[in-house]
A = this chain, B = another copy of it.
Amino acid sequence: MTSSAVPAPKKVVLAYSGGLDTSIILKWLQTEYNAEVITFTADLGQGEELAPAREKALKMGIKPENIFIDDLREEFVRDFVFPMFRANTVYEGQYLLGTSIARPLIAKRQIEIARMVGADAVCHGATGKGNDQVRFELGYYALEPDIHVIAPWREWEFKSREALLDFAEKHQIPISKDKRGEAPFSVDANLLHSSSEGKVLEDPAVEAPEFVHQRTISPEDAPDTPTVFTMGFEKGDAVSIDGVALSPAELLTKLNQLGHDNGVGRLDLVENRFVGMKSRGVYETPGGTILLAAHRGIESITLDRGAMHLKDELAVKYAHLIYNGFWFSPEREMLQAAIDHSQAKVSGTVRVKLYKGNVSIIGRESPNSLYDQDLVTFEEGVQAYDHRDAAGFIKLNALRLRVLGKRDARDNG
């Protein structure tokens, strides 16, 4: 374990976006720690070009071999988003965990790079009040227990936004004009979602302004006619749209477009952070919102009741683990083992209708269907089910309640 007297880190892998804040951090690592900085920039589908990040890093003196830019979109959807959606999990009844699920992958890749380049530290740009610092650092520590973690926002002495900008100016870090003034809110984005929080969103009594939304048009602006399509599933994962097989990232990208165009996936929420306070955020998860509904749809005909009800119980705890940053924990892996076990036959096709913010499942089909028309029909003839069995079923389910009713009548009599 690290002690208070550990030697200063010499090589640091920084999660680097190329933006102002992580550029300041980069410079601060160079000046404060005198450390060799390795930048790592991930394409998680946040929708920004990554080429500028390389240029900026070079300009700030990072050696070309110390610049890592990775397209992690397929890994992100395949190994993180899809396993999570198998669980139908939502945090506090509503949030689809779009930010939470990206952090463990970034942490994992940073550690992999640290091993490749022989770095002894990692650094992230998450603030000291949020959940992301926890998610990054639990990932780092789980994967590399003795790594040195640098969290500049908890460490440095800058007392204000002004002080930060002064430091940037002093070190020739370019500041775009819109950063000079206060940004009206802060954003995180990846292929699963965009989140916005802070500033104009801080009063939960006030409606979120339209301009904070980035990934969806408003339901009001969406077309007046529905969009209908089919989604194919195999073993719990979506694999095709309208019969066209797609890779995980391609599929989520396509769902995002469909969701965006139909105003699907907006959420305005006050949530409870792991670090203890409530915060208000606006989330846009267009593709994920569709995926959740469609996955529930295919499960509804292919998953046994016992499995479904157990999943529903486990999903609450699962959400807490993801939200709190415990992706790389034995208990998350145990839950995943249970959930994945349930998905072996969750294959088939779902018809989805999008209309001005609504997602409706309007049809489900599967060769593995457990839905048996003979069992539910009001018609007779096929003797699949003996009504009289229900009498015994009820009698024995009632037995303890009857004994109880008699006891309580006796006591109160």
- A residues engaging B (CB < 8 A)? 1, 3-5, 88, 92-94, 127-129, 133-134, 137-138, 141-146, 151, 153-154, 159-160, 186, 198-199, 202-208, 219-220, 224, 226, 266, 268-272, 275-280, 296, 300-301, 304-313, 316-317, 320, 325-326, 328-331, 333-335, 337-342, 345, 351, 353, 355-358, 360-365, 367-373, 375-378, 380, 383-409, 411
Query: Nearest B residue to A275 by beta-carbon distance?
Result: B396
Contact B404 A330 (CB under 8 A): yes
Task: Report the minimum CB–CB distance from A324 to chain B (whole Å).
Answer: 8
Please name 20 further chain A to chain B contacts, defined as beta carbons within 8 Å, in addition to the given A134-B390, A277-B399, A279-B376, sorted by A numbering: A1-B375, A1-B402, A3-B386, A128-B390, A129-B375, A129-B376, A137-B394, A138-B401, A141-B401, A205-B365, A207-B362, A220-B226, A277-B372, A277-B400, A278-B372, A278-B376, A310-B317, A310-B335, A311-B334, A355-B356
Q: A202-B377, A378-B186, A384-B1 are in contact. Are A307 and B334 (CB under 8 A)?
A: yes
Determine the chain B residues whose CB is within 8 A of the CB of A403 once the complex forms: 145, 276-277, 370, 372, 375
Contact A272 B305 (CB under 8 A): yes
In the A-B complex, the 10 residue pairs with the smallest Cβ-Cβ separation, listed nearest first, are A392-B392, A276-B399, A128-B387, A3-B383, A272-B305, A389-B392, A145-B402, A306-B331, A307-B330, A270-B300
Contact B396 A345 (CB under 8 A): no
